[in-house]
């Protein structure tokens, strides 16, 4: 499912045997019935009701925020693969079919316009923080993204931080093994909290170059506060998408206060690690920065960005904070779906397990070689990402 905060891009969908297309024409969104050769107005897109506040009341009363995917599934079944919805201050066009979404993405070009997460943006504005890639669009977004790609997405970068992920994964497996041995074969567990902590520990290790100790039997008070902050930020974001943040700020609403306090702690956590990273790199080079510093050890994404100096410290802090915050649920949720799919397909699970074991034995402990020799594992992750979104929807803003 894809949700666009209305879209000026083309979006096609099949309903009752003909195609429907949405596009911008002379500043207005038009919907075209391709087979019949006529243009339909934007207002003809099926909708769930014109009053955003009435819909918001229904969402709260029926607790739809906790089961938003079920609500969208029911609405797609009732209205077809493209429908409009107003909820509070959010006006959206929802698109179901993958082919339609692909056409939308293909139409975006080099500068896709994504929906602004207004609660996050408002926090940055009132605290006078710089915004990272999650909150930018246009050329500014592309400039930051290209710099981050070099340290996060490219194969050379992955090879540098893969050992850090391997270290966290080994500790995570050992923790689960101890629990299984303690509880016995009859163990039944909800993996969500553990996967959340795994994703957070792994993200921080890769980004900051240091562990935060979330697998410890007695995590530090700082680690516990950090877990609380990330969980609270993620929990309070969805309902705030439908409300005016600045109005809630003026009213000192508890929901906004919790959200802002969580972000303040996350930024304080990032600031402390930036200062430590700065001191480590400075001391290793006698007060100067040279790429590949820190005694040949990988200093994390943070250290790499600081060494190269192509982004200001404010932009580095903004981007690594958003990478950390945005990388937790988008890692934990696909992993949970992967476990679910492997659990209900035991024959595939056994094939993946045997291939991973064989590849690991042949790789001699090299994670990169082991991954290259396990195409079924890669295929499993890709198929899970194709079938099960990291979040229930992806957003694109309205351009009318």
Q: How far apart are CA 214 and CA 56, in angstroms?
A: 37
What is the torsion angle, in degrees rounded to the nearest 10, for the CA atoms of residue 392, residue 151, residue 300 and residue 356?
Answer: 60
Q: How far apart are CA 367 and CA 369, in angstroms?
A: 6
Mean local confidence (pLDDT), 29-38: 47
Q: Is 131 left (phi over 0), alpha (psi -120 to 50) or beta?
A: beta
Tell me: pLDDT of 400 over 80: no
Q: Specify the pLDDT at position 327.
A: 84
Most confident of the following: 108-112, 180-184, 294-298, 368-372: 368-372
Q: How far apart are CA 148 and CA 126, in angstroms?
A: 25
Total number of residues shown for the chain: 400
Tell me: pLDDT of 27 over 60: no
Domain 138-327 = CATH 3.40.50.720: no
Mean local confidence (pLDDT), 374-397: 77
Q: How far apart are CA 44 and CA 30, in angstroms?
A: 9
The arrangement of strands across the sheet holding 90-95 comes to 2-4, 90-95, 82-87
Percent of the chain topping pLDDT 70: 83
- Quote the tokens at residue 343: 């659990």
| Confidence band of 219 (pLDDT split at 50, 70, 90) | confident
Q: How far apart are CA 359 and CA 371, in angstroms?
A: 8
Q: Specify the pLDDT at position 313.
A: 86
Nearest to 4 by CA among 122, 109, 85: 85
Give the three-state DSSP class for 46.
coil
pTM, 2 dp: 0.78
Q: Specify the pLDDT at position 278.
A: 80
| Neighbour count for residue 99 (Cβ, 10 Å) | 12
The arrangement of strands across the sheet holding 28-33 comes to 11-15, 18-25, 28-33, 38-41
What is the torsion angle, in degrees rounded to the nearest 10, for the CA atoms of residue 262, residue 263, residue 265 and residue 269?
Answer: 140
Burial call 101-123: b when 16+ CB within 10 Å, e when fewer? bebbeeeeeeebbbbbbbbbebb
Taken in order 52, 57, 62, 63, is the CA torsion positive or negative? Answer: positive
Give the DSSP letter string of 65-115. Answer: GGGHHHHHHHHHHHH-SEEEEEETTEEEEEE--HHHHHHHHHTSTTS--PP
- Quote the tokens at residue 119: 């609660």
* CA-to-CA dists, residue 269 to 204, 205, 273, 275, 362, angstroms: 11, 13, 7, 10, 40
Q: Which is more confident, 18 or 373?
A: 373
C-alpha radius of gyration, the chain, whole number: 23
Domain extents for the chain? Answer: 2-109, 138-327, 330-387
| Confidence band of 290 (pLDDT split at 50, 70, 90) | very low
**16-20, 158-162, 196-200, 344-348: range with lowest mean pLDDT:** 16-20
- What element of type H or E holds 20? strand 18-25
Tell me: pLDDT of 114 over 70: yes
Long-range CB contacts for residues 56-65, cutoff 8 Å, separation at least 24: 56/87, 56/88, 56/242, 59/87, 59/242, 65/238, 65/239
Q: How far apart are CA 303 and CA 277, in angstroms?
A: 6
Give the three-state DSSP class for 127.
helix
Tell me: pLDDT of 95 over 50: yes
- Quote the tokens at residue 326: 């945005």
Q: Are 336 and 328 in contact (CB under 8 A)?
A: no
Q: Are 359 and 370 in contact (CB under 8 A)?
A: yes
């Amino acid at each position: 499912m894809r949700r666009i905060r209305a879209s000026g891009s083309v979006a096609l969908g099949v309903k009752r045997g003909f195609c429907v297309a949405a596009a911008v024409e002379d500043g207005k969104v038009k919907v075209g019935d391709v087979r019949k050769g006529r243009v339909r107005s934007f207002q003809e897109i099926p909708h769930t009701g014109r009053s955003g506040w009435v819909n918001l009341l229904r969402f709260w009363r029926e607790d739809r925020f906790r089961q938003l995917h079920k609500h969208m599934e029911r609405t797609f079944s009732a209205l077809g693969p493209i429908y409009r919805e107003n909820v509070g201050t959010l006006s959206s066009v929802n698109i179901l079919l993958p082919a339609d979404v692909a056409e939308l993405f293909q139409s975006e070009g080099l500068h896709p316009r994504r929906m602004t997460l207004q609660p996050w943006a408002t926090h940055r504005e009132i605290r006078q923080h710089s915004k990272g890639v999650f909150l930018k669009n246009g050329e500014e977004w592309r400039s930051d993204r290209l710099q981050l790609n070099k340290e996060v997405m490219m194969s050379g970068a992955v090879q540098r931080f893969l050992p850090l992920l391997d270290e966290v994964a080994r500790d995570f497996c050992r923790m689960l093994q101890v629990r299984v041995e303690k509880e016995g074969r009859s163990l039944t567990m909800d993996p969500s909290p553990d996967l959340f902590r795994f994703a957070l520990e792994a993200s921080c290790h890769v980004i900051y170059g240091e562990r935060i100790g979330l697998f410890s039997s007695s995590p530090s008070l700082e680690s516990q506060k950090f877990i609380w902050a990330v969980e609270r930020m993620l929990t309070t974001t969805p309902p705030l998408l439908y409300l005016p943040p600045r109005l809630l700020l003026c009213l000192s609403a508890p929901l906004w206060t919790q959200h802002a306090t969580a972000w303040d702690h996350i930024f304080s956590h990032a600031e402390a690690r930036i200062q430590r990273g700065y001191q480590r790199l400075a001391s290793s080079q006698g007060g100067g920065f040279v790429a590949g510093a820190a005694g040949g050890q990988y200093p994390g994404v943070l250290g790499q960005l600081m060494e190269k100096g192509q982004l200001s410290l404010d932009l580095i802090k903004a981007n690594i904070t958003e990478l950390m915050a945005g990388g937790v649920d988008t890692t934990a949720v696909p992993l949970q779906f992967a476990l679910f799919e492997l659990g209900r397909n035991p024959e595939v699970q056994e094939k993946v397990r045997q291939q991973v074991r064989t590849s690991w034995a042949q790789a001699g402990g090299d994670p990169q070689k082991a991954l290259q020799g396990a195409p079924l594992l890669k295929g499993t992750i890709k198929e899970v990402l194709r079938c099960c979104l990291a979040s229930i929807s992806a957003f694109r803003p309205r351009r009318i």
